[in-house]
Amino acid sequence: MVKALLCDLDGTLVESNWLHAEAWQVSFRVMGLELELDALRRQIGKGGPELVPVFVPWWKQKHIQEPLEAYRKFVFQTDYLSRVKPLPRVREFLLRLKEAGIRLSLASSASKEDLLVYKKIVHMEDLIEEESSADDAQRTKPHPDIFEATLKRLKLQPKDVLALGDTPYDAEAAGKANIWTIGVTTGGWSREDLLAAGCVEVYRDVSDLLDHFEQSALMR
C-alpha cells in the first residue's frame, strides 16, 4: 500500500499556473523580451533556473538570471499571489488521504514564502507532515532533487510513495527519483501529454481523483 503522497502545489492543489505565466510575461517584458503567454504557461512547473534558459540566449543568462528571477518574485507576490485560489474539494481530498493512512508531503518548485501562503489558502497546515520546496534543492524540477529531499525527510523508499502533479515536469522529476506519478489536467496539460511524460494515470482534477479514490493507484 502507498505510505505517502508527494504532492505538487501550483496547478495541482491551487489555481495558479496562468498567474505565474503572467508574472513571468511582465518580468520578461521589462527585460525587453515579449513572450506569448501560453509559451510561458507550458514552462510553469520548472523553477526559474530551468525556465529562463528556454527563452534567453546562453550568453545573456548569467547577466539577467538573478535580477529577472528576483523581479518575477516581486511581481508575483505583489500583484498575483492574492488571486491564487484553491481548486475544488482539495481539503476534502487531503482529509481522505489522512483517513486512508497516507502521509502527505509537499514537493513543490515554489519558494518557502509562497508555500506558507498556499497552505493558508487551502487550509491544509494541519494535514502536512513534511515539505520540500525550491529552497531545499540545488536543482528544481524537472530534476529529481525536490523529490529526493522529500523522501529523505519521510524516511521512505521510492516504492512506498506516489507523486501527484499537473505538468510533465512533475512526472519527469519523480521518474528520475524512481517514483510513479498520478497526473491532473488542471495545469493546462492534456491527459495525453501527462501519460506521455510518464504518469501512470490521469484525472481531470483532485476532485475527480477523490471520486475514484478507491480505484486509483493510491489504493493499489
Cell numbers found for residue 63? 547577466
If pLDDT is split at 50, 70 and 90, which confidence band does 220 have? confident
| 186: pLDDT strictly greater than 80 | yes
Residues 135 and 168 reside in one and the same domain: yes
Give the count of beta carbons closer than 10 Å to the beta carbon of residue 120: 10
Residue 132's CATH number: 3.40.50.1000
Radius of gyration, alpha carbons of the chain? 17
- Percent pLDDT > 90 in the chain is 90
Q: CA 80, CA 19: separation in Å to the nearest integer?
A: 6
Q: Tens digits of per-residue pLDDT, 123-156?
A: 999 999 888 887 888 898 999 999 999 999 999 9
Domain boundary among 32, 56, 83: 83
| 97: pLDDT strictly greater than 90 | yes
**Domain count for the chain:** 2
pTM of the model: 0.95
Domain boundary among 83, 112, 131: 83
Residues 189 and 204 reside in one and the same domain: yes
Domain interval for residue 23: 17-83
